[in-house]
Amino acid sequence: MPRSKKVKKIVLEGDPIYNSRALSKFINKVMYDGQKQAAAKEVYRALDLIKVKFPEEEAVKIFEGVLAAIAPKMEVRSRRVGGASYMVPSEVRGERKNHLAMRWLIDAARAKSNKEFHTFGEKLAAELTDAKNGVENAIKKRDNVIKMAEANKAFSHLRW
């Protein structure tokens, strides 16, 4: 049975303000129910709050640095061998790295309390500043993934 042709990747244009592809992708991941303008508004609000906290640095550079810091280098994948499932450590590809980093950042921001932070932009700005300082939920998530990969190094010969 022949396989269908390969799916072409859609190359996103940069966002209109900062001309960053990573930021454009991030806005799409933040979006709910097709409300892209609302998502973009909250992300830009977070970047404006970061500009106020760190006036000497560009907000987009901070954002991209945080994404690079959160992105995992190794992860574990389950592999079934002889009736038993093993957690096999493997390297993370570039696109998946960015996807995981963005997803963890968004999940950590959404998990913040509404009493302390009233908008998603404020939550995201707090997460970005915490990640820049090295203490944050997404960084803990990355550390747990790397720790799992280190613990299962013995099964690395089962890679595919």
The pLDDT tens digits of the residues spanning 51-98 come to: 999 989 899 999 999 999 888 888 777 777 788 777 777 788 888 899
The whole-number pLDDT of residue 159 equals: 62
Q: Which two tokens stand for residue 50?
A: 């970061």
Secondary structure of residue 10 in the 3-state scheme = coil
CA distances to 2, 8 from 5, rounded to whole Å, are 9, 9
User: Which overall architecture, per CATH, does domain 21-158 show?
Assistant: Orthogonal Bundle (1.10)
Instruction: Please write the tens of the pLDDT for every residue from 86-108.
Output: 777 778 888 889 999 999 999 99
CB 27 within 8 A of CB 15: yes
Residue 67 identity (one-letter amino acid):
L
Return the minimum-mean-pLDDT range out of 89-98, 110-119, 132-141: 132-141
Residue 73 identity (one-letter amino acid):
K
CA–CA separation, 157 and 160 (whole Å)? 9
Q: pTM for the whole thing?
A: 0.83
Q: Is the pLDDT of residue 46 over 90?
A: yes
